[in-house]
């Protein structure tokens, strides 16, 4: 590209444009081409304008959603500053599932030997047998 004025150099350096590739549905592409012809404006300009408007509108919506969430969290913190309600809900959920909680893992004791995990017995043979009898 050959630049003929300092204004062009300033504009390009101030707001460098980046080429991007997007997939557009054929009907949207056809509509964009028609609009470009009717308005006598380049498709690139129309797309940039549409994306700018979309980002501006969605950013405001996201900001409102975040503000609403923050307000809810602040209200909850005022209502339950020590999170007693949350702790009680957690304890209830933990007691409901007990040993059958799918999110809980199983404690395994062992060590790495030559890059392989080797499990160590956590109890002696008598304790192991008693546990097996108690567990059924």
> Contact, 89 vs 80, CB < 8 A?
no
Q: pLDDT of 58-102, one tens digit each?
A: 999 999 999 999 999 999 889 988 888 888 888 888 777 766 766
| CA pair distance 73, 71, nearest whole angstrom | 5
Helix (H) or strand (E) holding 49: helix 43-79
Q: pLDDT of 15-55, one tens digit each?
A: 677 888 989 999 999 999 999 999 999 999 999 999 999 99
Instruction: Read off the pTM.
Output: 0.47
5 pLDDT tier (thresholds 50, 70, 90) = very low
């Amino acid at each position: 590209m050959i630049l003929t004025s300092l204004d062009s150099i300033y504009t390009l350096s101030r707001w460098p444009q980046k080429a991007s590739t997007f997939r557009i549905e054929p009907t949207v592409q056809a509509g964009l081409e028609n609009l470009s012809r009717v308005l006598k404006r380049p498709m690139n300009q129309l797309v940039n304008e549409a994306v700018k408007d979309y980002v501006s509108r969605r950013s405001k919506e996201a900001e409102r959603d975040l503000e609403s969430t923050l307000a809810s969290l602040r209200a909850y913190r005022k209502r339950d500053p020590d999170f007693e309600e949350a702790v009680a809900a957690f304890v209830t959920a933990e007691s409901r599932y007990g040993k059958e909680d799918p999110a809980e893992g199983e404690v395994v004791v062992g060590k790495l030997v030559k890059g392989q995990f080797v499990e160590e017995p956590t109890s002696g043979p008598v304790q192991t047998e008693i546990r097996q009898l108690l567990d059924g």
